[in-house]
Structure 1
Amino acid sequence: MSPDPAGRPAHADTDRDGPPDTATRHFTDHRELLFSVVYTLLGSVADTEDVLQETWLSWAGRNRRTPAPEIANPRAYLVRIAVNHALARRAALAARRETYVGPWLPEPLVAGSDDDVLRSETVSLAMLVVLETLTPLERAVFVLHEVFGYPHTEIAGMLDRSPASVRQLAHRARAHVQARRPRYRAHPRVRREATERFVSAALGGDLQALMEILAPDVTVWIDGGGARQAAGLRPVQGRDKAARMLAGYATRRAGDLDVHYRRVNGDDAAVLFTGDSPYAVMVMDLTPDGDRVRGVYVVTNPDKLGHVRPEEDPVQ
């Protein structure tokens, strides 16, 4: 049994024309939470869906042995199953990325796409990149505690670790993240204006405007997965190199691209289309005051854009 495209188990045990059984209902009720937790651990929609399928199979098997009404906290039990399946999948993901061509970025969640609505708990693309530098256990503890608010004692039970070891993992993870991410963010209106100024300068090939909005230590990541010739094999660091690379790229492609401003992982972003086909998702990470761009994350790998659809009027 596995979730269907709408997120419901396909062949659940039900009365033939009646409501779904208790186990199915619990899984369906908590599916959005499970998706958010697993996606934040993995950064891949496809792998998240696979883990949810594995979670359903484990949950259904558990309920054949112990009926759902006898499980004291189905929500916590489902999260525990999902987290452990996600941790098991991390090893396969690590091996896959060893042969990945160029920089790897998480798969963007674009608000309004047909696949999944944007979850309120979803962290930014920039934060997901930072989370990639944690160990799997550090990431799990950080996500469960800092993003979803689980206490350390409950996380300890999920991960079969002592509360003391979980607190130690949490301390290391928090210090690592805080050293790389600002605690404060500019007002949403300021971030939106800066995003639009950057996109206008980048796609217009305006070198001077790019020099003004890019931070001196800006880094540009382009994840093409080897499928886009323009994607570099390494991140581009520094304002001069980044501005010239972006301006040069614009002169080659900007003329046939339509720009849609959308929310991506909770941030203002630009989604670029050629006709009805997604070409790139461009997310900017701004300085805390919002006046400069310090990180540019561009996903052009077609495998990561299959769920993106044009749903808004393009910018003229």
Structure 2
Amino acid sequence: MWEFLTDFPAIGRRELAEMKKAIDEAFKGFSRTYGEGLENFFDPLLKFLVWFEKLLIATPWPIILVIVGGLAWLGSRSWKITAGAVLAFIVIGIFDMWEDTMATLAIISVATFLCILIGIPIGILMSRSDRMQALITPVLDVMQTIPSFVYLIPVVMLLGIGKVPGLLAVLIYAIPPIVRLTNLGIRLVDTEVLEAADAFGASSRQKLFGVQVPLALPNIFAGVNQTIMMALSMVVIASMIGVKGLGVPVLRAISNQYLALGLMNGLAIVALAIIFDRISQSYGKRLQAYRGQGHD
């Protein structure tokens, strides 16, 4: 009796080993059958990533600084944030981290764009159907809570080492916030506003794109902000599977105990995070203020 209470009844070791072996064999069979097809499917994305990275690296640094300053000003309308963003990139260049930063910018930009492209429609779908929300929410919970190293295993087994597996890992980790906040923003739209739209004879599509999505924009941009932050937090982990960028020197610093190298590149990642955070937050606040004035 005491043994029953202290030793949890578990599957026998032999049965457990056979079950694990069956899962491994099934996945290996899947990867052999569909691996090449998946690589061909993602090949255009890989080519675009390589092209975009080379474009950023080849672009003269003064042009990059002008683009960064222009985007910072358009997003924040703040001279302090604009000057801070430009200064941060100048410091990054002075400390010889320019190429790694451009490589990081390339994958973060593409990952954020894909998260927006995929995440907003899923969020809209969730907001339109309680059943879809109930189905998708547990998937988002798993994506946010499962350790990133766990889902790197099947991605690497299917696609090998390189940029695309790293991008997919970033997508899995970074997409949940924009899906959740798009869903939340649309659901929080005042029912009186929707009733007014109904009174004017607006169709379901007109209500969605003319009323709900514009009013939900502050929440959606908060989701974009969180997506960018989570994508940047994956930079070092993505470097483990062949993604170039600031994560590679950090990983090398960890392996060889190079404190200065790790700190410098780590601070460059932090600088990028702060720049993106301030710009996107400022833009979100401006949208919120614009919405509050009733101009939406």
TM-score class normalised by the smaller sequence: under 0.3
> Higher relative contact order at CA 8 Å, sep ≥6: structure 1 or structure 2?
2
Larger radius of gyration: 2
Instruction: Name the one with the larger helix percent.
Output: 2
